[in-house]
Structure 1
Amino acid sequence: MKIGIIAANGKSGQAIVDEALSRNLDVTAIVRGENKTAAPHSLKKDLFDLTYEDVKEFDVLIDAFGAWTPETLPQHTTSLLHLSDILSGKTNRLLVVGGAGSLYTDADHTTQLMEGKDFPESFYPLASNMSKSLTALRKRSDVNWTYISPAADFRADGERTGEYLLRGEEFSVNDQGESLISYKDYAIAMIDEAVSGTHIRERISVLSK
């Protein structure tokens, strides 16, 4: 299996690269500058300049792109639309590192986590823009996408436990009442989905046991 990882130099991207390599998968880091990952292959190109010719060899394209400043936050949506356009009608799969803020807190799926009174105000702009990107992705029946939301507490420096809980659209906690996952355990879930292709055109979520 050949996997291309966009924004592989980022923290989540590097964790996903490492997990894929540990399973002897063929990994290419797609980066704007120097490849700082352990991936043996790299493609130096901006996400927005990618064409289908660039990515056609990958069975799975993993999007670990992130934008953090007010002026770049809309790129969460525009980047996914660009990737969807180049993969439209193709068999390649697109897996997306998503956000937790858009998880639902009710069975009717009318209220999102980011709308709760306890949701940190400083995180709302990022969460709302990532939610918009998921909404746009849901409209793409021409793309084999999967959106994977992490737990609310997404820990870059967390340990790799080797285990995780797989959930769906609704916010959930583990037996300790916690919603957390490390980047390394999240990477396990991401590569599990890359290999299995179980949740086509679905949003799933993962958290630590």
Structure 2
Amino acid sequence: MKIGVIGATGKAGALIMAEAQSRGIDVEAIVRDHHRLSTPVPYLEKDVMSLITDDIEDLDVLVSAYGAPRGEGYRYPLVTQHLIDITKQTGIRLMVIGGAGSLFTNQHRTNRLFDEPGFPEAFKDTSTNMGEALKRLQASDGVDWTYISPAENFVFNAPKTGKYQLGADFLSFNADGRSEISYADYAIAFVDEIQNHQHRNEHISVVSV
């Protein structure tokens, strides 16, 4: 198996890449600046919007850990649509690191986390546009995709426990009533899905135990 990781120098992308490498998965980093890579890895230095199908034809899975600059959330739907276009009808799986803001908070699926009162205004641009990107995936045809949202509290400096719970596209909570997951455990869940391929064309979530 070979995977390509867009945004491999970011927090989540780097951990997913390292987790995949630890399992013997062949990994290629897809980055704008290879000098920012912290570990030796084969790489393709190219802007995400310049990628073409020929660039990824030897991949089994394309991982998008793309992160837009603050205030430029409009890029998420554009990038996602581009990735849909270059993976469509290729058999290459598209797996996207999502946001918690897109998770539903009621059983009727009318409210998402970013609709709730008190949702931080600073994150609304990013969250709502990631939600629009998700809609592009859900409306796509001929693409094998999975969109994985972390819990509400996505904690970078937290221990790797090796344990997690998968959920549907709803905000979920652990046994202590907290909606949280460490980046390290999220990476484990993400690579598990890469290997197991159990949630084709689904939006799922990850929370700690």
Q: Which bin holds the TM-score, normalised by the shorter protein?
A: over 0.9
Instruction: Report Cα offsets for 1:53-95 as digits up to 9, x if no partner.
Output: 100111001000011322x211111001001001111111000
TM-score normalised by the chain length of structure 2: 0.96
Distance 2:62 2:6 in 1: 7
Match of 1:121 in 2: 121
Match of 2:44 in 1: 43
Q: CA 1:178–1:37 in 2, change beyond 3 Å: closer, same or farther?
A: same
**Kindly, what percent of the aligned residue pairs are identical?**
42
What residue ranges of structure 2 are gaps of 5+ in the alignment?
none
Match of 2:95 in 1: 95
- The answer (yes or no) to whether the contact 1:6–1:63 under 8 Å persists in 2 is yes
Distance 1:152 1:191 in 2: 20
1:131 pairs with 2:131: yes
Distance 1:174 1:119 in 2: 20
Distance 1:28 1:37 in 2: 13
Q: CA 1:34–1:108 in 2, change beyond 3 Å: closer, same or farther?
A: same
- The answer (yes or no) to whether the contact 1:2–1:26 under 8 Å persists in 2 is yes
- Offset, 1:119: 1.6
Match of 2:61 in 1: 60
- The answer (yes or no) to whether the contact 1:17–1:38 under 8 Å persists in 2 is no
- The answer (yes or no) to whether the contact 1:100–1:150 under 8 Å persists in 2 is yes
Q: Mean alpha-carbon deviation: is it higher for 88-97 or for 39-48? A: 39-48
- Offset, 1:146: 0.4
- Offset, 1:37: 3.7
Match of 1:74 in 2: 74
- Offset, 1:39: 5.0
Match of 2:22 in 1: 22
Q: CA 1:53–1:15 in 2, change beyond 3 Å: closer, same or farther?
A: same
Amino acid at match of 1:61: L
Match of 1:104 in 2: 104
SS at match of 2:136: helix
Distance 2:73 2:170 in 1: 24
Instruction: Report Cα offsets for 1:11-70 as digits up to 9, x if no partner.
Output: 111110110011011011110012514352111111001011100111001000011322
- The answer (yes or no) to whether the contact 1:141–1:201 under 8 Å persists in 2 is no
SS at match of 2:73: coil
Instruction: Report Cα offsets for 1:93-120 as digits up to 9, x if no partner.
Output: 0000000011001111111111111322
- The answer (yes or no) to whether the contact 1:169–1:205 under 8 Å persists in 2 is yes
Match of 2:159 in 1: 159
Match of 1:150 in 2: 150
Q: How many residues align?
A: 208
